Amino acid sequence: MRNSHILAVSLFFCLISSSLAQTFIHPSKDPNNWQPIFEDQFVGASLETRNWVTCHWWNWDGKGCTILTNNELEWYLPENVTVRGGNLILTAEKEKTPGINGRTFDYRSGMVSSGRMGNLGVPTKFAFQYGYVEMRAQIPIGKGLWPAFWLLPVTNKPLPEIDVMEVLGDNPNTVYTNFQHGTSPTDKRTIGSSWRSPKPLEGWHTYAVNWQPDAITWYIDGVERFRMTQSELVPNEPMHLVINLAVGGDWAGAPDESTPFPSSFLIDYVKVWQHK
């Protein structure tokens, strides 16, 4: 997820699918070339702990966490992560919640990661290097809500970062697709784009990235929306998955009286394929 200074104009080194995209066969329809390596369809009544933890490894107090550098307003707690009706549900609530360093947060919310909570001695739940990752999800709508799906290195470094999707709840027609890189969080650079839907993305949609050594390609509902072809910048290290529902922050802005609480980010499935 981005920090506020990422709002600078993105560098657009991409091929737009409407004019230049190559024919792409979805991995599920091309078993001769792709093999599934990860799948969670969120069946049952609880989170599959073999696949997920419920916090980042940073700004973590042993139970909850947040992203302080974004000035987000939520404290993530495992209680705000539920599985019901075949969906992973990340719920944001307006409730004062004690967090790190004696600070009280005005909101609580949920997130999951296939990485780790803690130092490098703690095993990662799931990571991969190169592949096609897809999530089917339903976003919440409301000012200050910030659902996202992204990839981070297993080395507990903040960069590079592949943002499969980000949406601002008060602009639910637009999906942001970005790659972030740099030497440190204070030297973060973004190559990215945004895609605007003719109507709000309220229902179920798929968000995917095809990460290969020479390019990263983003898909929404199976259609290519953005491609980064600077192969020298493409990550060549294992990365893990993060799904979260942030509240507020420098980019999203604070909720207002129109924002509905509780609000939930619903995920139907997460799947990853790799080339055979």
- Note if 232 is an active site residue: no
What's the sign of the alpha-carbon dihedral 246, 163, 2, 155? positive
217: CB partners within 8 A, 6+ apart: 24, 209, 210, 224, 226, 227, 228
Tokens for 276?
């055979």
Which element (helix H / strand E) includes 19?
helix 17-20
b/e per residue, 122-148, with b = 16+ CB within 10 A? eebbbbbebbbbbbbbbbbbbbbbbbb
Distance from C-alpha of 133 to C-alpha of 151, rounded to nearest angstrom: 10
- Note if 48 is an active site residue: no
Distance from C-alpha of 162 to C-alpha of 207, rounded to nearest angstrom: 13
Which of 72, 161, 202, 237 is the catalytic position?
161
Per DSSP, what are the bridge partners of residue 182? 188
Distance from C-alpha of 47 to C-alpha of 125, rounded to nearest angstrom: 13
Tokens for 243?
């799904």
Which of 72, 74, 134, 166 is the catalytic position?
166
Distance from C-alpha of 3 to C-alpha of 170, rounded to nearest angstrom: 18
Catalytic site positions: 161, 166
